Structures are given as structure tokens and as C-alpha cells.
Amino acid sequence: MPSAIVTAIAAQKGGTGKTALTGSLAPIWAYAGARTLMIDLDQQANLTFAFAIDPTTLDATVVDVLAPRNAIPAEQATIAQPHQVADLDLLPCDERAAELDTQLRSETMGVYKLSDALEPLLTRYDRIFIDCPPNLGELTVSALLVADEIVCPVNMGDRNALPGLSRITQTVEKLRRRGARVEMKTLVRLNCDERERSYILNSQALKSLAKRLDVPLARTELRARAAWRTAATQDVPLILFEDSDRGTREAQTDVHHLVCELWPAIDFPYPSEIRATRNQRARKAAA
């Protein structure tokens, strides 16, 4: 059977927009008909909260899947159809993940534990998206070892956005020399506002850095829009956000343009089509 393509959403620091990006890329793949799994590896469990799931109410999370003793199969911790999205599942996280880096480091071949845990799931899904921790510790390396590709978000509103990008490419090179298949798919610019000095300072420097590191830079920019923050406060990913104001429509259109650029062979639904599908399913459920 075909094996899932695994995309790691990874960056070397926090506040880059990893979770926001993961939370919108995965559902749009699901609405395109792909069996899709999201994996939350961040100890803050932001992706889990983004789908209105409180990890303290769960019987198990990815932490129990990676436990040194009495680990459970990943499918037992997986949540089906968060936010009622068909073909979408979530392997949640909780704050206990703060200890996973130390745990994996202390175990023999611990860095491969995630890969072993996910192996039974690879034929059940078409796409797997991993929201990595905001560092390049053991847990992130574990994700890169199972991944086929990396999408690295860059917060263009952060004046310190660029330092550290070379480190993640160096890590990828080291892993590939040791037989890993992972490769850098693209850098993605988020929180883009051409009026801001941080954007102006980062823009040319990022283009030069991407060229020097030989890493693709997505043409599509995800513009700074209040809708990203508003959706997050309501525990819903942007691509599923129901608000129909202009800023939301523009932000969702940016996401659609990005997925069409990164995976041009796929016929992704427009945000309006996703909204119509969700409304139709809601009406059926209420009938």
C-alpha cells in the first residue's frame, strides 16, 4: 500500500506561526479528499487547543505514545474528525511533552521512537503534518527523521526571524548524510506587512539567505491579517474560520494560493467551497 507523505512544520524558534500554518494546511488537504493526520509535538499543545480540544480531558496523547514504559499504540490516542472535518485526525499533545527531549535522549535509539510509533499509521493516511516544537531538540529531530519534507515558516514581523535558519538546513544535511530522506521543501513568509520596517529589513535578507542556503522560498506570502489572531482566540484554524469579513477572506485566499503553489498537482477546494461544505454538513447534522 502507498505510504503517507509526512510534512514537518519546523522552525528553530517560537512565534513563527508553525501551529497556525499546520492548522490550516492539514484541513485543506482533508477537504481535497486526502486522509490526513495532524501530530502535535509542541508541549504548549497549541495545535490541540486550536481544534477546541482540552488535553487535560484526554485519556492519552502523543506523550503516552512515546512513553518509556507501557507505551500505547498511536491510533489509541488519535482523535477523529476534530471540528467535524471528515478525513482529518489529530494526535494531540499535552504539557508533559516538556520532558520528552530528556526522555528520548536517555533512551537507546530514542530519537527513532516516533518513527517506530508512526509506522503502523503510514498506510492509513495520505498526508501527515507534524507541528514541531520551537527548537531543534531531540523531539524535532525525531520528527525530521520520519518526515519526507520540511515547510519552515518565517515570521516577517520579527526582526530576529532569520538567525537560526541556517541551523535547520545544517541539521537536515546531517540527517541526509545518515540516510534520512527528509528535504527542505520551502520557506514560507508569514505575518507580512510591507509597511512595517521589520518586513522591509527581513525581505531582501531572506531572499539572499535562501539563495545562499539553496532553499526554495515560496512566492506566496501570508499577509498580516487580524483574522489569524481572531481565529486562534476562538480555538479554530483560520481555514475553518466562519467569519466572512474581507480580512478573513483574504487570509484564507492566501492559504489557498500557498497550497496550490506548493502542491500544484492537487485540486484544492476554494475557501468558499470549504465553507459551503461545512454549512451543508451542519444543516444535515441538525436535521
According to the model, what pLDDT value does residue 275 have? 93
According to the model, what pLDDT value does residue 217 have? 97
With a cut of 80, say whether residue 244 has pLDDT above it: no
Average pLDDT over residues 225-245: 93
Which domains, and CATH codes, for the chain? 5-226 (3.40.50.300)
Q: Classify 81 as helix, strand or coil.
A: coil
Average pLDDT over residues 158-171: 89
With a cut of 70, say whether residue 93 has pLDDT above it: yes
According to the model, what pLDDT value does residue 13 have? 82
Q: Which residues are CB-neighbours of 226 under 8 A, at least 6 positions away? A: 247
For the residues of 195-263, what is the DSSP string, one character each?
Answer: TSHHHHHHHHHHHHHHHHHT--EEEEEEE--HHHHHHHHTT--GGG----SHHHHHHHHHHHHHHHHHS
Q: Which residues are CB-neighbours of 274 under 8 A, at least 6 positions away? A: 27, 28, 31, 239, 240
Average pLDDT, the chain: 94
With a cut of 90, say whether residue 109 has pLDDT above it: no
According to the model, what pLDDT value does residue 172 have? 92
- Name the pTM for this structure: 0.96
Q: What whole-number percentage of the chain has pLDDT above 70?
A: 99
Q: Which pLDDT band, with edges at 50, 70 and 90, does 136 fall under?
A: confident
With a cut of 90, say whether residue 191 has pLDDT above it: yes
Q: Which pLDDT band, with edges at 50, 70 and 90, does 1 fall under?
A: low
246-280 pLDDT, tens digit each: 999 999 999 999 999 999 999 999 999 999 999 88
According to the model, what pLDDT value does residue 90 have? 98
53-76 pLDDT, tens digit each: 999 999 999 999 999 888 999 999
